[in-house]
Structure 1
Amino acid sequence: MDKALEHQFVALLEKHQNIVHKVCRLYTNNQDAHNDLFQEITIQLWKAYPKFRGEAKFSTWMYRVGLNTAITLYRKSKRTIKTQEFETVSFKIKAEPYDDTQDQQLKLLYQAVYQLNDIEKALVFLYLEEKNYSEISETLGITEVNARVKMNRVKKKLRTVLNP
């Protein structure tokens, strides 16, 4: 790939890397798994970047690739994330340290979210990222009505778990 494309990708990834960190936080429970998943999502984003047509916002496309990668790996490995070597491209990304300190309410919310299935987790994640139902449906590949119905069911489920 040409250098201009590589520089463009790196700049976009650096700008939006918190999206990847959030996906990793949602699907992993320790720092090593987080780092491995971050690397794997970055690889998948790089591989798919030449096909990115710009029909959706880069961040929406990034959510979709990141969530699909996490869900696929999560299902395949049953909570053990495996990575592949990535030696063909050597670009440096200034990784921002991910602040893992959360207050008690956020920890409780994450514990409740961990109990959800993969699609429900993705739905909650996008909702908490303040994505509208149109963006959520586009990212998850479901209808907007289906996204609304699923979200209402997930909210009820979370209320039950958080307020027994």
Structure 2
Amino acid sequence: MKQPHETAFLQLINEHSGIIHKISRLYRDNTQDREDLFQEIIFQLWKSYPSFRGDSGTGTWLYRIALNTAIGSFRRKKVEIQYAESVPDVADLLPGQEADPRQERLFAALMQCDAAEKAIISLYLEGLNYQQIAEISGITENYVGVKLNRIKTKIQKLIR
């Protein structure tokens, strides 16, 4: 029989699995590495779950753990990303999703951003406001705006 905290944790993961998949896709360039990162994020969330006090929203807490895990494991393993000349593999779509060429070009451009840029733009693309992005990333709201403008300009150049 599952404990109440296990059930709540599984529900949280089910509700937010899409963002975990997106973060995995942004920080890893092949299917196996994405799956490994996804599992590592789930593990880190499970380890941190008992100490979650609710000072911030569950989504904010989850984003912070997921991004820190993605960036931290990237640094620890010294993963060398080789940017594909073509768009990312369509097989990595979530079940029920169809390949959108514009979205694939966007992901290809995002893969060329550094870790901090990926973190900020992924939060923005998920619909978080500047205050929420600032809380998760640890920078000021004004600097979030500055960074987003620079990232958008960079992505536009990469897509063209």
- Which bracket does the TM-score occupy, shorter chain normalised? 0.7 to 0.9
Q: More displaced, 28-37 or 61-70?
A: 28-37
Q: Tell me the number of residue pairs that the alignment of Structure 1 and Structure 2 aligns.
A: 146
Unaligned runs of 5+ in 1: 81-96
Cα distance in 1 between the residues matched to 2:11 and 2:158: 40
**C-alpha offsets along residues 53-87 of structure 1, whole Å, 9 cap, x if unaligned?**
1122211111110011000111222337xxxxxxx
List, as ranges, runs of 4+ consecutive aligned residues in structure 1 with deviation greater than 6 Å.
none
- Displacement of 1:16 in angstroms is 1.6
| 2:56 corresponds to | 56
1:98 is the counterpart of 2:77: no
| 1:31 corresponds to | 31
**C-alpha offsets along residues 81-125 of structure 1, whole Å, 9 cap, x if unaligned?**
xxxxxxxxxxxxxxxx82464221111111111111100011111
Q: Aligned to 2:152, which of 152, 155, 163?
A: 155
Task: Give the aligned CA root-mean-square deviation in angstroms.
Answer: 1.8
TM-score (norm 2): 0.84
Unaligned runs of 5+ in 2: 81-92
1:126 is the counterpart of 2:123: yes
- Percent same amino acid among aligned pairs? 42
1:140 corresponds to which letter in structure 2? S
**C-alpha offsets along residues 23-55 of structure 1, whole Å, 9 cap, x if unaligned?**
111111222111111110001001111111112
